[in-house]
Structure 1
Amino acid sequence: MRLPGRLSAAIDVLTEVETRRRPVSEALKSWGQANRFAGAGDRAAIGNLVYDALRRRASHAALMGDDSPRSLVLAVAVRDWGENPKALSQSFAGDAHAPEPLTEAEIARLSAPAPEMPAHAAADVPEWLAQSLERAFGDSWVDEGRGFAGRPSLDLRVNTLKSSRERVLKSLARFNPQPTAVAPLGVTMPAGARDARTPNVTTDEGYLKGWFEVQDQGSQIVATLANARPGDQVLDLCAGAGGKTLALAAAMDNRGQIFAFDSDRARLAPIYDRLKRNGARNVQVRAPESGALDDLAGKMDRVVVDAPCTGTGTWRRRPDIKWKLTPELLAQRLADQSAVLNQATGFLKPGGHLVYITCSILPQENDDQVQALLATHTNLAVVPAVEAWQAAFGTTIPSGLATELGGVALTPHRTNTDGFYCIVLRRLA
């Protein structure tokens, strides 16, 4: 397919997403199944157009004076992919798969400098979240928002139970991987421009042998901050598919015990195959049944709570959820987090550590939640970010990452990672 056909397909997919409220991944898959003539390169390019349109939806709409799928995709082609408006319109002529030629008004808007726009549009975030983001990031909140409008890198975590970073770098050399800047066992491949395809590393021999897992560097960093040690008794209370469980098992060198639990069986299901592939032998999966964790009360050295959240930290990878988030959904997630934090405290032994993690950048889900927990649990104290970072990494925490309460906040703008929050609490008695 030529670019005009790809643009037309992206408009169709985005229309499907907007009108039927379908997840982007499902709409793209459905389009691919209905158009089997399209090759892998075509599907990748169309996916990039759709995701780029959603990442910068607000600023593209401000440029075009319209947020229709056509306007957003045309803005991506010109503003992000560097196409010339007039030349682009001319390329549509005679192409049966192209969109309608650009109007004079569209060419004028696409040719003009970016207009003045409200701060939330410049940041490419929902207007109702502007106040929260300003509270989280101060004067730099617009730049932080723009960081979430870019494409994410592909990050891997080396599984030290089976391999080394040097070995993984060598095995994936054809993709030009690089060591991550912060995570000590990470490997990264920066996102390409325009129609660049993301490497399919899950078919690589090293992945199949368990040498590495796909995991954002930010996720690796917060798993390291949990500071699990060989011999520890650890409860991963919201284990999900087991990404952080696997990181903890490797950090513990298969010594001690990890209890992996999740209240949702479907989320937990993939963990079994992943544990086997990674060679993680110190993990006991606890199914969500009544009394499944009763025997662990008051016995855990560490309780890791990767809490259910709004996912605002994943906006680069899932930009559609940015525009679907509502105050009602935020309120539900706050209630979920409060409940799981209160549950988690009961498993700590004296001197044990509670590690609270979210993939959110909203203060309501992060420092505010911990402040509320401390108000009702006087036997808990924050381990300051400086101390937690030094204990986990053996280095001084980078400037600007510590939150007011003593947590650690990661963002694309600050650390070139997804957005994550992590804070460590110690049980005093």
Structure 2
Amino acid sequence: MKDGGRLAAAIEVLTEVENRHRPVQASLKDWGTSHRFAGSGDRTAIGNLVFDALRNRASLAAVMKNPSPRAAVLATYALTWDKGLEALGQAIGQDRHAPEPLTPAETANLTEDADAMMPWERADVPEWLWSDFESFFGDDAVTEGRALAARAPIDLRVNTLKADREKVLKRIAHTGAVATKLSPLGSRIIAKPGPGRLPHIQAEEGYQKGWFELQDEASQLAACIVQAKPGEQVLDYCAGGGGKTLALAASMQNKGQLYAYDADRLRLAPIHDRLKRAGVRNIQVRDPASTTLDDLKGQMDLVFIDAPCTGTGVWRRRPDSKWRLTEKALSDRIEDQRTVLRHAREYVKPGGRIAYVTCSLLQQENQHQVDWFLKEYEDFELGSLSDAWRELFPAKPLPKYASVRGELLLTPASTDTDGFFVALLKRSS
């Protein structure tokens, strides 16, 4: 396919995503199935156009003075991908499968300086969320929003039960992977610009042998800083597919007992293959359909909660979710989080702790939930993750949004990671 056909395909997919409110991955998969002539490079380029258009939807709509999928895709190619107006005109004019020619208004908007944008447009943050976003980040709000609109890298966590980072980096040197700046267990493959594609890392021999897992650096740090120790009793209460479960097991050096549970049985299903590949031996998977956790009440040294949330911290990876998020969805997640916290506290033994983690940047899901919990349950107090950071990473500066009282917030702009919030809640002895 030529670029003109790729542009037309991206417009078609993005139109379906917006008009039918479909997940972008499903729409891209269906397009590929019905257009089998498109090669892997074509599908990658089309997907990149669609995802970049979604990442920058508000700012591109402001530039083009038009919120349509066509306007977003054309501006992505010319501006975000830095191809320019001339290349865009050639792509359209030299391909019979291309979109309609540029209108005079489109040409003008792509060449003239954009009128002054609203801050939420420059930041590519939904307008209804902007006041909350700005109230926390202040003068950095636009910078943080722009970082959330960038492409995310591929991050890998070395499985210390089977390998070390030097071994992993040597084996995947052909991918251009480098050591992560913060996590001592991480490797990173930088996202490529424009139509560039990233390697299929799951096909690598090291992945098949269980030497490493796909896991963002912030997620690695969250699992590390709560310090699950060898010999402890640990419950991963919202285990999902098991990414953080595996990281906790490695921290425990396969010693002690780690229980993996998730109320959604389907989310838990992938964990079994991952455990086998990683060589983990100290995990019990508790299927919600066939067992309870009653025997664990009051027994856990650590209950790890990767809480259900809006996912605002991972907008780089799921840009369509940014524009689907509603006030009701946020309200529902807040109630879900409180329900999870209420239940999880039952499993913590005296002197034990809860690690409360979200991939959200919103105070309502983070600091405000910690405040609610500490007011509701006076036998818990807030632990200091700043102290834990200094102990674990003495050569690394404390992250910008580490709170005075002890919580930790990682963000794309401040730590070059996904957005993650971590708080440690300690039960009195």
TM class by shorter chain equals: over 0.9
Letter in 2 for 1:50: V
Report the equivalent of 1:253: 253
Alignment of 1:21-36 (within 5 A): 21-36=21-36
Q: 1:151 and 1:94, CA in 2 relative to 1: closer, same or farther beyond 3 A?
A: closer
Report the equivalent of 2:11: 11
Report the equivalent of 1:150: 150
What per-residue deviation string (whole Å, max 9, x for no partner) do you get for residues 31-65 of structure 1? Answer: 11111111111111111000000000000000001
> Distance between the aligned counterparts of 1:201 and 1:78, measured in 2?
30
What per-residue deviation string (whole Å, max 9, x for no partner) do you get for residues 127-149 of structure 1? Answer: 11011111221221111111100
> Distance between the aligned counterparts of 1:391 and 1:261, measured in 2?
30
> Distance between the aligned counterparts of 1:290 and 1:130, measured in 2?
44
> Distance between the aligned counterparts of 2:397 and 2:286, measured in 1?
35
Q: For residue 247 of structure 1, report the CA deviation from its aligned partner.
A: 0.2
Report the equivalent of 2:80: 80
RMSD over equivalenced CA pairs, Å: 1.3
Report the equivalent of 1:347: 347
Q: For residue 328 of structure 1, report the CA deviation from its aligned partner.
A: 0.3
> Distance between the aligned counterparts of 1:213 and 1:253, measured in 2?
16
Report the equivalent of 2:212: 212
Query: Is the Cα–Cα contact under 8 Å of residues 388 and 424 in structure 1 kept in the other structure?
Result: no
Alignment of 1:182-193 (within 5 A): 182-193=182-193
Query: Is the Cα–Cα contact under 8 Å of residues 162 and 210 in structure 2 kept in the other structure?
Result: yes
Task: Confirm or deny that 1:46 pairs with 2:46.
Answer: yes
What is the identity percentage for the equivalent residue pairs of Structure 1 and Structure 2?
A: 53
Query: Is the Cα–Cα contact under 8 Å of residues 120 and 130 in structure 1 kept in the other structure?
Result: yes
Report the equivalent of 2:421: 421
Report the equivalent of 2:37: 37
Query: Is the Cα–Cα contact under 8 Å of residues 132 and 362 in structure 2 kept in the other structure?
Result: yes
Letter in 1 for 2:61: A
Letter in 1 for 2:167: R
Query: Is the Cα–Cα contact under 8 Å of residues 386 and 397 in structure 1 kept in the other structure?
Result: no
Alignment of 1:261-410 (within 5 A): 261-289=261-289, 292-394=292-394, 397-403=397-403, 405-410=405-410
Alignment of 1:73-152 (within 5 A): 73-152=73-152
Greater shift in the superposed pair: 389-398 or 176-185? 389-398
Q: For residue 86 of structure 1, report the CA deviation from its aligned partner.
A: 3.7
Query: Is the Cα–Cα contact under 8 Å of residues 169 and 178 in structure 1 kept in the other structure?
Result: yes
> Distance between the aligned counterparts of 1:224 and 1:392, measured in 2?
9
Letter in 1 for 2:307: A
Q: 1:73 and 1:419, CA in 2 relative to 1: closer, same or farther beyond 3 A?
A: same
Query: Is the Cα–Cα contact under 8 Å of residues 399 and 414 in structure 2 kept in the other structure?
Result: no
Letter in 2 for 1:188: R
Q: For residue 414 of structure 1, report the CA deviation from its aligned partner.
A: 0.6
> Distance between the aligned counterparts of 1:312 and 1:195, measured in 2?
25
Unpaired stretches in structure 2, ≥5 consecutive residues = none
Letter in 2 for 1:139: D
What per-residue deviation string (whole Å, max 9, x for no partner) do you get for residues 292-313 of structure 1? Answer: 1111111111110000000111
Q: For residue 394 of structure 1, report the CA deviation from its aligned partner.
A: 4.9
SS in 1 for 2:19: helix
Query: Is the Cα–Cα contact under 8 Å of residues 48 and 195 in structure 1 kept in the other structure?
Result: yes
Q: For residue 385 of structure 1, report the CA deviation from its aligned partner.
A: 2.8
Q: 1:291 and 1:31, CA in 2 relative to 1: closer, same or farther beyond 3 A?
A: closer
Letter in 1 for 2:44: A
Query: Is the Cα–Cα contact under 8 Å of residues 374 and 381 in structure 2 kept in the other structure?
Result: yes
Query: Is the Cα–Cα contact under 8 Å of residues 265 and 288 in structure 1 kept in the other structure?
Result: yes
Q: 1:369 and 1:108, CA in 2 relative to 1: closer, same or farther beyond 3 A?
A: same
Greater shift in the superposed pair: 295-304 or 77-86? 77-86
What per-residue deviation string (whole Å, max 9, x for no partner) do you get for residues 214-263 of structure 1? Answer: 11111101011121011011000000000000000111110001000000
SS in 2 for 1:346: helix
Greater shift in the superposed pair: 381-390 or 108-117? 381-390
Task: Confirm or deny that 1:411 pairs with 2:428.
Answer: no
Q: 1:346 and 1:396, CA in 2 relative to 1: closer, same or farther beyond 3 A?
A: farther
Report the equivalent of 1:177: 177
Q: 1:106 and 1:396, CA in 2 relative to 1: closer, same or farther beyond 3 A?
A: closer
> Distance between the aligned counterparts of 1:45 and 1:289, measured in 2?
42
Q: TM-score, normalised by structure 1?
A: 0.98
Q: For residue 404 of structure 1, report the CA deviation from its aligned partner.
A: 5.3
> Distance between the aligned counterparts of 2:425 and 2:388, measured in 1?
10
Letter in 2 for 1:403: S
Q: TM-score, normalised by structure 2?
A: 0.98
What per-residue deviation string (whole Å, max 9, x for no partner) do you get for residues 168-187 of structure 1? Answer: 10111111110000011000
> Distance between the aligned counterparts of 2:286 and 2:118, measured in 1?
49
> Distance between the aligned counterparts of 2:48 and 2:408, measured in 1?
31
Report the equivalent of 1:198: 198
| Segments of 4+ moved more than 6 angstroms | none
> Distance between the aligned counterparts of 1:162 and 1:253, measured in 2?
11
Q: For residue 291 of structure 1, report the CA deviation from its aligned partner.
A: 6.2
Query: Is the Cα–Cα contact under 8 Å of residues 386 and 396 in structure 1 kept in the other structure?
Result: no
SS in 1 for 2:378: coil
Q: For residue 85 of structure 1, report the CA deviation from its aligned partner.
A: 1.5
> Distance between the aligned counterparts of 2:397 and 2:259, measured in 1?
29
Letter in 2 for 1:189: I
Greater shift in the superposed pair: 181-190 or 76-85? 76-85
Q: 1:385 and 1:427, CA in 2 relative to 1: closer, same or farther beyond 3 A?
A: same
Report the equivalent of 1:59: 59
Query: Is the Cα–Cα contact under 8 Å of residues 86 and 107 in structure 1 kept in the other structure?
Result: no
